[in-house]
Structure 1
Amino acid sequence: MKTQITASGATVPAVLVAGSTDVGVLLAHGAGAGQDHPFMEMMREGVAGAGITVMTFDYPYIAEGRKRPDAPAKLLAFHAAAYDRLANDVERVIVAGKSMGGRIGSHLVTGTVPRGSWDGAPRQAAGLVYLGYPFVAPGKREVRNTEHLATIRAPQLFIQGTRDVLGPLDVVKPVVEELPGSRLEVIAGGDHSFKVRKMDGRDQQEVFASLVEIVAGFAQSLRTGGGT
Structure 2
Amino acid sequence: MSYAKAADGTRVAYQLRGTGSPLVLLAGQANDHRWWDGVREDFHASHATITIDYRGTGDSDKPDVPYSTRLLADDVRAVLDELGVERADVYGTSMGGRVAQWLAVDQPHRVRSLVLGCTSPGGPHAVERDERVRKALAGGDPVTRRAALLDLMYTPAWLAAHPGPHHTVGDPAMPAFARARHLVASNRHDAWDVLPRISCPTLVVHGTDDLLNPVANAHLLARRVPGARLELLAGARHAYFEEFRAIAGPLVSDFID
Normalised by the length of structure 1, the TM-score is 0.71
The alpha-carbon deviation at position 183 of structure 1 amounts to 0.9
Query: What is the aligned partner in structure 1 of residue 42 from structure 2?
Result: 46
Query: What is the aligned partner in structure 1 of residue 4 from structure 2?
Result: 5
For residues 174 and 100 of structure 1, do their structure 2 counterparts lie closer, same or farther at Cα, with a shift above 3 Å needed?
A: closer
Q: Deviations over 1:106-151 (max 9, x none)?
A: 112212xxxxxxxxx6653111011211344765789955232211
The alpha-carbon deviation at position 188 of structure 1 amounts to 1.0
In 2, Cα distance between the equivalents of 1:3 and 1:164? 34
Contact 1:137 1:166 in 2 (8 A): no
Aligned length: 194
The alpha-carbon deviation at position 65 of structure 1 amounts to 6.9
For residues 74 and 54 of structure 1, do their structure 2 counterparts lie closer, same or farther at Cα, with a shift above 3 Å needed?
A: same
Normalised by the length of structure 2, the TM-score is 0.64
For residues 210 and 85 of structure 1, do their structure 2 counterparts lie closer, same or farther at Cα, with a shift above 3 Å needed?
A: farther
| Structure 1 counterpart SS, 2:33 | coil
Structure 2: which amino acid aligns with 1:134? S
> More helix per residue: 1 or 2?
2
Q: Does residue 210 of structure 1 match 2:247? A: yes
Q: Does residue 80 of structure 1 match 2:77? A: yes
Cα RMSD, aligned residues only: 3.2
Structure 2: which amino acid aligns with 1:210? I
In 1, Cα distance between the equivalents of 2:190 and 2:209? 18
| Structure 1 counterpart SS, 2:34 | coil
Query: What is the aligned partner in structure 2 of residue 25 from structure 1?
Result: 23
Q: Does residue 34 of structure 1 match 2:32? A: yes
Written as runs of structure 1 = structure 2, the 5 A alignment for 1:188-199 is: 188-194=234-240
Instruction: Give unpaired runs (5+ residues) of structure 1.
Output: 112-120, 196-203, 221-228
The alpha-carbon deviation at position 69 of structure 1 amounts to 8.4
Structure 1: which amino acid aligns with 2:195? L
Written as runs of structure 1 = structure 2, the 5 A alignment for 1:1-228 is: 2-7=1-6, 8-20=8-20, 23-37=21-35, 40-48=36-44, 50-62=45-57, 63-64=60-61, 70-86=67-83, 88-89=84-85, 92-111=87-106, 123-135=109-121, 136=126, 145-194=191-240, 205=243, 207-220=244-257
For residues 123 and 65 of structure 1, do their structure 2 counterparts lie closer, same or farther at Cα, with a shift above 3 Å needed?
A: same
In 2, Cα distance between the equivalents of 1:43 and 1:134? 22
Instruction: Give unpaired runs (5+ residues) of structure 2.
Output: 132-186
In 2, Cα distance between the equivalents of 1:191 and 1:219? 23
